[in-house]
Structure 1
Amino acid sequence: MNTLAQNTRHWSVELALKIWTKERVWLVSLAILIVLFLFAPDQGVESAKFTATNLRDVAPFLVLSIGIAAYAGATGADGLIARAFTGSPAVMILIAALAGGLSPFCSCGVIPLIAALLAMGVPLSAVMAFWLASPVMDPSMFVLTTGVLGVEFAIAKTIAAVSLGVFGGTVVHLLAKSGGLTDPLREDVGNGGCGGAKVRTAQPVVWTFWRDSARVTKFVREGIKTTLFLAKWLTLAFVLESLMLAWLPADLVASTLGGAGLAPIGIATLVGVPAYLNGYAALPLVGGLMGQGMAPGAGLAFLVAGGVTSLPAAVAVWALVKRPVFLLYLGIALSGSFAAGLAFQLWVTL
């Protein structure tokens, strides 16, 4: 009996850990709403309505972004990234930055892809350009940014992503020419997994994927996966935004992150590093802050800095490259994000 009880308890713990690992974002959102309904029922009702209304309003953009991501995966268009790393250094840096900022590349494939590129001898400058631009923007992110923050902000964020990639790639190229940054990979890093295979054995793109049953299955699978991913993060984001709008004093936001000076942009750049949740979840949060007086340049700096230095992105860089390259990555990300926010703030005030 004791053995049965121990096995049951062990199985229950394992099941709870699995559920928490896979569904923790949904569970956090649910837990917040439950606590609100128990201790602040009026705010609980308001937060639930706010979340449902905003999910409804962003649904058209959500559907379009899901379609783009699923289509790219089903057709093999994400494999076009392999063609970005050929040519002269200047061409490689520019194309790699464009590829990172514009291609719907799966985030789970970035780590093995980068490992494969570096192991194959692709210059670190081009890899860094892609690596810096990739977490900031892609077509689905552009669509959702347009729906939440407007097309002008989406265009500015795209330009910032590509510019950051070009800036970082150029800095790395100049340092490499002077004899630095040799052998950037850690000793125990291989040549990548499935993501790296896309570089080593690039496959042709099948634009009419619906003629292939396997690709149709992949389209459906990618669509469901992307839907669940975006829905859970946007739900959490809107719940948090409702609390922020209710309890965060607007005058505090306006005085700290408002205005056209350097301080708000600098603060937003630094705050973006620890406060950033997820590229999709951050959009409505920044929208709420801007509605309370946050400067547009500060909002852009927050999104760019947070995207590049978010925990998943930073851990990926740390896992693959040596410490000097990692520190250079952080320095370029923060300085480039600050410059992008400043440039955008100057643009909107003209």
Structure 2
Amino acid sequence: MSLWNFVQDQLLGMAWLNDLIGRGLSKVGVDTTSPIGGSLHFFLYDVIKITVLLCLLIFLVSYLQSYFPPERSRKILGRFRGMGANLVAALLGTVTPFCSCSSIPLFMGFIGAGLPIGVTFSFLISSPMVDLGSLVLLMGIFGTKVAVIYVILGLVVAMVGGALIQRLHLEDQVEEFIRQGVAVQAEGPVLTQKDRVVYAKEQMLSTFRKVFPYILIGVGIGALIHNWIPQSWVETVLGGKNPLGVVLATIIGVPVYADIFGTIPVAQALLGKGAMLGTVLSFMMAVTTLSLPSLIMLRRAVKPRLLGVFVAICTVGIILVGYLFNALQPWLGM
């Protein structure tokens, strides 16, 4: 346990970096106990920590993803039936792009290739909501128990959501040009280890350029919440005394467009100010899964009825996960 605590606190949580930045700021005359100094400390620590973890995780995940190009993923999914197919689709979603807007083109390709609609939606729900990057970041900030339960519940939401959509027989709610799409049948060239490393490096740089502005915004908001927003305000709106806190956080998260790396600092700051654990996790899930830009993109591929069912299933699932985490919070020691 001591070894694992070291990994979680010093490697993933980078507690040493937090101390180093605090000492550095103190040496140049910055009072880290003041609101301005505390905000600067929070901002520098979280930006550096998330940037390092982000680049490392994207590189590793992209290297792994090089073994699962779209055509191979389609063939893997085509071998399974029933809930097994939903589970495999949800698991494949964990090694694909980090935001919902990047997942939708793959979703369209799977639909065009003739995969069952429920399976493709399990992938679409899982891809932004649960990924390997979020698992590692959550472990470093919220602890191992929270991270593991978050991933498991996210996979359950993806599986059940896809299965419900399959049972509703909404295939006719997919736009015609998507259903008539022709899948590429030829496998891509066989990649060497050097090719995979180059691919992972390119994906890391490309993704980093896209998400870094959201990291800055998310950490900036988190720094403001952490040092300027009164704790009583957060506890009143998102604390245990408000039974509708989870619902409110989910609704607030929908218009926001960010990824898991930009929302975690906000969630961390809210939790530190007295918000309930499930409430901040519901906010994170809503931001990553139901952002307005992704819903607008998805509307190009599906008709309003199917889009509404998708939003309703995800919203209910996110809210249930939030209330479950709130109930488990004392057991989780947070």
Place the TM-score, normalised by the shorter chain, in its bin: 0.7 to 0.9
Equivalent residue, structure 2, for 1:321? 302
Aligned partner of residue 255 in structure 2, secondary structure: helix
Q: Of residues 222, 230, 234 in structure 1, which corresponds to 2:203?
A: 222
Q: Of residues 89, 108, 119 in structure 2, which corresponds to 1:126?
A: 119
Q: Which moved more, 1:56-65 or 1:83-92?
A: 56-65
Q: What letter is aligned with 2:290? A: T
Q: Of residues 287, 295, 304 in structure 1, which corresponds to 2:268?
A: 287
Equivalent residue, structure 1, for 2:193? 209
Question: Following the alignment from structure 1 to structure 2, what is the Cα–Cα distance between the partners of residues 260 and 139?
Answer: 33
After superposition, residues 96-115 of structure 1 pair within 5 angstroms as: 96-100=89-93, 102-105=94-97, 110-115=103-108
Deviation at 1:292, TM superposition (A): 0.3
Question: Following the alignment from structure 1 to structure 2, what is the Cα–Cα distance between the partners of residues 168 and 116?
Answer: 19
Count residues in correspondence. 295
Q: What letter is aligned with 1:123? A: P
Encode CA deviations 1:33-71: one digit per residue, 9 max, x unaligned. xxxxxxxxx977764443222223445523431321331
Aligned partner of residue 274 in structure 2, secondary structure: coil
Q: What letter is aligned with 1:226? A: T
Question: Following the alignment from structure 2 to structure 1, what is the Cα–Cα distance between the partners of residues 204 and 133?
Answer: 12
1:77 matched to 2:58? The reply is no
1:331 matched to 2:320? The reply is no
1:182 matched to 2:166? The reply is no
Equivalent residue, structure 2, for 1:68? 60
After superposition, residues 188-207 of structure 1 pair within 5 angstroms as: 188-189=177-178, 197=184, 200-203=185-188, 206=191
Q: Which has the larger radius of gyration?
A: 1
Q: Which moved more, 1:80-89 or 1:277-286?
A: 80-89
Say whether the 8 Å CA contact 1:67–1:223 is kept in structure 2. yes
Question: Following the alignment from structure 1 to structure 2, what is the Cα–Cα distance between the partners of residues 92 and 235?
Answer: 38
Q: What letter is aligned with 1:186? A: E
User: What is the TM-score when the length of structure 2 is the normalising length?
Assistant: 0.78
Say whether the 8 Å CA contact 1:297–1:344 is kept in structure 2. yes
User: What is the TM-score when the length of structure 1 is the normalising length?
Assistant: 0.75
Question: Gaps spanning 5+ residues in structure 1: where?
Answer: 1-41
Question: Following the alignment from structure 2 to structure 1, what is the Cα–Cα distance between the partners of residues 319 and 249?
Answer: 9
Question: Following the alignment from structure 1 to structure 2, what is the Cα–Cα distance between the partners of residues 299 and 216?
Answer: 36
Deviation at 1:201, TM superposition (A): 3.6
Deviation at 1:285, TM superposition (A): 0.2
Equivalent residue, structure 2, for 1:91? 84
Compute the RMSD of aligned alpha carbons: 2.8
Q: Which moved more, 1:318-327 or 1:135-144?
A: 135-144
Q: What letter is aligned with 1:184? A: Q
Question: Gaps spanning 5+ residues in structure 2: where?
Answer: 1-33
Say whether the 8 Å CA contact 1:160–1:304 is kept in structure 2. no
Cα separation, partners in 2 of 1:300 and 1:49, compared to 1, 3 Å: closer
Q: Of residues 36, 45, 53 in structure 1, which corresponds to 2:45?
A: 53
Deviation at 1:109, TM superposition (A): 5.1
Deviation at 1:165, TM superposition (A): 0.8
Question: Following the alignment from structure 1 to structure 2, what is the Cα–Cα distance between the partners of residues 49 and 292?
Answer: 17
Deviation at 1:131, TM superposition (A): 1.1
Greater share of helix: 1
Encode CA deviations 1:272-325: one digit per residue, 9 max, x unaligned. 212453321110001000000110111111111222111232123211001110
Question: Following the alignment from structure 1 to structure 2, what is the Cα–Cα distance between the partners of residues 135 and 191?
Answer: 26
Question: Following the alignment from structure 1 to structure 2, what is the Cα–Cα distance between the partners of residues 191 and 244?
Answer: 49
Aligned partner of residue 169 in structure 1, secondary structure: helix
Q: Which moved more, 1:152-161 or 1:122-131?
A: 152-161
Question: Following the alignment from structure 1 to structure 2, what is the Cα–Cα distance between the partners of residues 47 and 347?
Answer: 30
Aligned partner of residue 275 in structure 2, secondary structure: coil
Question: Following the alignment from structure 1 to structure 2, what is the Cα–Cα distance between the partners of residues 292 and 44?
Answer: 17
Equivalent residue, structure 1, for 2:139? 146
Equivalent residue, structure 2, for 1:277? 258
Cα separation, partners in 2 of 1:48 and 1:71, compared to 1, 3 Å: same
Say whether the 8 Å CA contact 1:136–1:307 is kept in structure 2. yes
Identical counterparts, % of pairs: 24
Say whether the 8 Å CA contact 1:85–1:95 is kept in structure 2. no
Deviation at 1:121, TM superposition (A): 2.4
Cα separation, partners in 2 of 1:286 and 1:51, compared to 1, 3 Å: same
Cα separation, partners in 2 of 1:159 and 1:205, compared to 1, 3 Å: farther
Question: Following the alignment from structure 1 to structure 2, what is the Cα–Cα distance between the partners of residues 109 and 274?
Answer: 17
